[in-house]
Every structure is written in structure tokens, then in C-alpha cells.
Structure 1
């Protein structure tokens, strides 16, 4: 995944932008707009449709069947984020049951097929890091659950096997995030648990359940502290590198919920609540999730968090988080660019009216679909 990562170099950690083909230039500051007032209405299901329609209007490339990176529509978004947008499309279909939306879900698969060498997991130019693959494996497995298309399942199985065989540390446990095995990050370990559990449910192959439990134990031991804070990475025998990212909190919740749903072991549910509580009380300000992503791909992180906090609320019946989620959605939606109906990564501020990224416009849209999902 194109994200901040850490490498060990001459006994020092050097922070760099990892696996990136270059950050996009940040546009000039947009003109300020008036902030929302307390009279702004609460978002509705119709607003969820409006938000998604606007997102597709400004970001969906109908020819490529994938998403642009910015409103300028001059290049596609990063490979891993396309899998996240595919998840968004599936959320919309689950909310609406609209046949046209199911067509779009299948179209996005085809867009990825055409753009990424037919999901050839052995192409080390297209796929250059393990977690990029795993985001797609997760989405492919979910698409099979939704559509029954066996091609999606076979692609998911092949991708999971490719990542497992190259990433898993059979000696010390855990998953390496990159081909060079420089470290083990939350962004590969927790998604591996989620993907394995989806494949277990789809195939009945108990080896996936065994792998999910194994990676979860490693991740909980090495990446989660007693307060539910998730470390971004662990390099060798060094202490975990704690950086607060909503997607790491989210996938930790998702992994715990996947195992809880299968085993009904309350320990997993407790872990999920602990990670959610940390996010709610320690990240962001005044009950609003952190902005994340200053014109970079981190703008998509809250999309991933949205997916799994809503699972905790619905599957785990932890409705104590619902008002918090609702406040975030309402704040972000009321602060949208009302001319374009595009939302922004910083929910607490009025959205800019200039060039925006699909990454930073995506999380409120996803939250809204999940909030109203049937």
C-alpha cells in the first residue's frame, strides 16, 4: 500500500513515503466557505444516494471502469484504493438492491482485470507490495459472497496463496508487508485475518481458520497495546512503531469481528471494543475522527475504518458507538462542498471548492452507505 512506512537503515528508523509512484502536487489553497450551523439538517438515505452519485460523477472513469485520483480526472487512483472503492460500490448495492449498481460492481472487477494484468499475482511490476494484493483479495472474496461468481473466488484464493507463500514468517509468525521482508505492518496482518475468514466461510477449508487465528495471535501480541492502540509496524526485534491510523484501528476491529462471528469467543469482541474505544477517545478531537491525508492516499483510511466500526455496531450489537458515528457523518456531510456535493477528509472544516482527491472525498460517502445498509 502507498503509505508511510519505516525501514531500518544504519540502526536508525527513517520515515519515508513508501511504495509511491510520487505524491501528487498539492493544489493552491481553496477559497474558504461558510462553516455549517447548528440549523443544518441531519443526513438522510436520500443524501447517501446524492453523495455516492456525486462521487461517481467526479471520480469514476467510465472507460477504465476505475476511479480517478482527483477531480481533474487526469490519472487513475492508486491500485490499492481501487479495491476500497470497489467495497464502497458493494456497500451501495447492499443498501439499494439496485440492479444497475450490481452491474457497476461487476464493471469495477473488469476494470481491475484490464488494468492490473488480469489479477496476475505473479506480476511484480503491477503488484509490488503484499498488502496491495490483500486489499484486493478481501474485496474479491466479498464480491463472490455477494454475486456467487466463482471467478472472483478463484482470483481471491490465488491471491491469498501468493501473499501467504511470500509474506508469512514461518519461524517467528506474522506477515511481512513488502517483498524485501523489511517489517511486519498492521496493514497486512489484520487484512490477512479478514481475508482468511472470508475464504474459510466460502470454502469450508479449515486451514484458512487456522491461519486467521495464528496471524491474529501474532498481531495482538505484537501490534496491540492494553489500551486498544494499534501499532503501525514492527521491525525485527525492535519495539512496535505506534502511529495512530484509523485504518489500522479498523482492520483490527474487522479481524476480531470476523473471528468473533465464527467462534462466538467473547475475547474477540472485547478486543474489537477496545480498539474502537481507543479510536473514539484518543484519536481526533471533540468526537470527530482525525483528518488524515494532506493531499495523499491516507485520505482513504477512514473508509476502511467505517467498514469495520459498522460491523462492530451491527454484528457485535455495540450500539453505543452509533451516535459517535452519526455525529461524524453529519458533520462531514454538512461541511461538504454543496455545489458539487463532495465531502472532505477533514469533517470539522468546510470542504474546499478547488481540486479534490477521490481519497479524501470517499469516507463520508462510505459511512453513509453503511449507516443505511439494509
Structure 2
């Protein structure tokens, strides 16, 4: 992950360690002159399958068993985004129950194993930021829940322990984003809660539940505006929280709250999740359409993460008031796809480019479709 932004603090520039990603040196996409399409037809299960097939056709590397960063197919996508694409593969399997899709889920584990030193969490060249590791820990735990393969759980536990030992601040609380302990970000704290709760569900080890509650409490006190549900991107030392609106931070805050709500049935967690969802719906984006994050950088994947957890709020939390909003976003993005390639992109409200595109920006509508249709 790359450092993106800078903030002025006490007369000095201090890096604001946003986990959002920087720009790649790739050709900019060519945009058509088509008018946006925001109406019917409504997407179907056949469309969801078509979208996933297209995503794989243009981005999946079958020999590496991981995804390219762009349609140029010149190099793999960023390490942390592969875990998000693995989630997508699991979503498709949960929707279809297709044995071939389960085989792909297992293939992607092997792809990560081969590419990332066998998930050797002590390799500080492969793994150089804590949240990169935690995205994989979350996905590994989920893959164990889906497949029952013990090696997935073993890797998840080892990764969680490695991150906890290096990232947790036992004095002031919270999780540091990077090895240098320069700040504590939403992108490590809320995923830690989600990972801990998955491991608790699998193992029954109450220490995971304790850690999840501990980190959630810190995050709510330091990264969450309880008046409106806005999630801060980071907290550096004793400085005020750095508020930058990103859908994945809103999403993982929802996911962390839902994981604890599902276990404890404490309505306060559900209230937090709804507040975060309401902020995203009413304050981010335009006319109800989610923001177009990711101007040819890794931020394009952020809405794929948001999709995962807003759908949990709808299904596990019974908050069906968000379904029409989600459906409108899916329909808008799908109807504005590049119809020659069936590739969607980051800006749902405008026609997709027909030139070079990134897997990051093409991932979120595909993810939304799988999850939405699974819950119907």
C-alpha cells in the first residue's frame, strides 16, 4: 500500500497514512461519448454470471491463479487486492454452489501460497504493511469456514498472531497500520475485529472475542463519529482523527459491528452499523450513487469491500431499507458497463471506458451482484 496524502500539523507536514492506494504508471483509459444509462433493464442472475466471466476473462491469470492489475495483463494486482478478489470467488461459490467454482477458490489459495512465500508472515519483503496481512487473514478464515480445509485456518491464526504481536498498542490501544508505527488506521483496526470474530466462530477461543471487543471499543472512541456514522481514515498520535471519506472504511466499520452484533445481540453494535450505512448513503456519492473512487489506482477496489458488509447489514441485521439503494447502484453500474467486454468500472453513473481498465475498478459491481442475488 502506498501513502497518499499529507496533512498540516503544528506547522509541519506529517504523512497521513491513508491505506488508500496511489496511482499506477499505466495508460489512462479512453472514455466513450455515450450517454449514461441509469434505467432498466434490471440485472439478473445471468448478468451476474456474465459479469464474473468477463472479469475472469480480462483479469485472471490461470497460471499464477491470481489477478492482473489491468486489461493489459502485464503484471499482477496489488497483494492486498488479491484477498478481495478471493472473497469475490467465495461469493460466487456461495451463490452458485458450483463445484468448479469451489475448485477456483482452492486454486486461488494455492496462487497466493506460491506468490507470497507460502503465507510466511515473517517475510518482511513480501509483507510490509500490517493491513495487507489482515485482509488475507480475514479471507483465509472465511475460506476455512467455506471449505473446512485446516491449512487455511492454520495460516489465518498464524497471520493474526503475527499482526497482533507487531501492531497492537498495549499502552494506548488500537492497531498500528505500518511497521514503523506511524499511525492507527481504520483499514487495520476494523478488519482486525472482523478477523478476530471469524476466528472466534471457528475455534471458540474466547480470547479472539475479547480482542475484537477491545479493538472495536478503541476504534469507536477514536475513529467513529457517533453523531453521524462517519469513519475517520486514521489517527496519528494525540492529533484529532483524520477524516477522509472512503467506502471501505465505512464498510469494514459496518462489518465489525455486525460481527459483534451477530455474536452478542447487543443492539448498540447494530445501531453503529446503521449509522455508518446511513452516512454512506446520504453523505457520500451523488444522487444515491456511490462515489467513483479509484482514478486509475487501487482505490477502485474499495466499493467491493463495502459491498461485502452492507449486504451483511441487510441480511444478518434485517435492515432491508438499504436494498433498493444497493440495487439502484448495481443496475446503474451494470447498465453503464462496456458492453463489448461486459466490464464494469468505478464510476457507476457514467459509461465505462473502452480502453485500458484496472481490475480494481472493475471489481465492485461484480461483487455487489453476487452478494445481492445470494440474499434474494
Structures share fold, TM-score greater than 0.5: yes
Partner of 1:287: 288
Counterparts of 1:240 and 1:283, CA distance in 2: 19
Counterparts of 2:71 and 2:29, CA distance in 1: 15
Residues 81, 237 of structure 1: alpha-carbon distance in 2 compared, 3 angstrom cutoff: same
Partner of 1:222: 222
Q: Secondary structure of the equivalent of 2:374?
A: coil
Counterparts of 2:201 and 2:28, CA distance in 1: 48
Residues 32, 324 of structure 1: alpha-carbon distance in 2 compared, 3 angstrom cutoff: same
The answer to whether 1:157 aligns with 2:157 is: yes
8 Å contact from structure 2 (residues 67, 76) kept in 1: yes
Q: CA deviation at 1:245?
A: 0.1
Partner of 1:304: 305
Residues 258, 352 of structure 1: alpha-carbon distance in 2 compared, 3 angstrom cutoff: same
Partner of 1:212: 212
Instruction: Summarize the alignment of residues 135-284 of structure 1 with structure 2, pairs less than 5 Å apart.
Output: 135-225=135-225, 226-284=227-285
Q: CA deviation at 1:336?
A: 0.1
Counterparts of 1:39 and 1:302, CA distance in 2: 21
Instruction: Summarize the alignment of residues 1-374 of structure 1 with structure 2, pairs less than 5 Å apart.
Output: 1-2=1-2, 4=4, 11-14=12-15, 23-37=23-37, 40-225=40-225, 226-373=227-374
8 Å contact from structure 2 (residues 144, 152) kept in 1: yes
Q: CA deviation at 1:25?
A: 2.3
Q: Secondary structure of the equivalent of 2:332?
A: helix
What TM-score do you get using the length of structure 2 for normalisation?
0.96
8 Å contact from structure 1 (residues 140, 152) kept in 2: yes
Q: Cα RMSD between the aligned structures?
A: 1.7
Residues 52, 238 of structure 1: alpha-carbon distance in 2 compared, 3 angstrom cutoff: same
Q: CA deviation at 1:8?
A: 8.4
Counterparts of 2:6 and 2:180, CA distance in 1: 13
Counterparts of 1:360 and 1:15, CA distance in 2: 24
8 Å contact from structure 2 (residues 28, 296) kept in 1: no
Q: CA deviation at 1:92?
A: 0.1
Q: CA deviation at 1:7?
A: 8.0
Q: CA deviation at 1:15?
A: 5.3
Counterparts of 1:255 and 1:324, CA distance in 2: 21
Structure 2, unaligned stretches of length 5 or more?
none
Q: CA deviation at 1:30?
A: 1.0
Q: Secondary structure of the equivalent of 1:13?
A: strand
8 Å contact from structure 2 (residues 17, 234) kept in 1: no
User: Bigger shift: 22-31 or 290-299?
Assistant: 22-31
Counterparts of 1:311 and 1:175, CA distance in 2: 24
Counterparts of 1:282 and 1:339, CA distance in 2: 33
Counterparts of 1:93 and 1:294, CA distance in 2: 30
Q: CA deviation at 1:331?
A: 0.2
Cα deviations across residues 270-294 of structure 1 (Å, max 9, x unaligned)? 0000000000000000000000011
Structure 1, unaligned stretches of length 5 or more?
none
Q: Secondary structure of the equivalent of 2:24?
A: coil
8 Å contact from structure 1 (residues 7, 182) kept in 2: no
Q: CA deviation at 1:194?
A: 0.1
Counterparts of 2:217 and 2:183, CA distance in 1: 17
Residues 106, 29 of structure 1: alpha-carbon distance in 2 compared, 3 angstrom cutoff: closer
What TM-score do you get using the length of structure 1 for normalisation?
0.96
8 Å contact from structure 1 (residues 35, 350) kept in 2: yes
Cα deviations across residues 192-212 of structure 1 (Å, max 9, x unaligned)? 000000000000000000000
Cα deviations across residues 38-89 of structure 1 (Å, max 9, x unaligned)? 6630000110000000000000000000000000000000000000000000
Q: CA deviation at 1:11?
A: 3.3
Counterparts of 1:290 and 1:348, CA distance in 2: 9
Counterparts of 1:99 and 1:327, CA distance in 2: 31
Cα deviations across residues 108-132 of structure 1 (Å, max 9, x unaligned)? 0000000000000000000000000
Residues 109, 29 of structure 1: alpha-carbon distance in 2 compared, 3 angstrom cutoff: closer
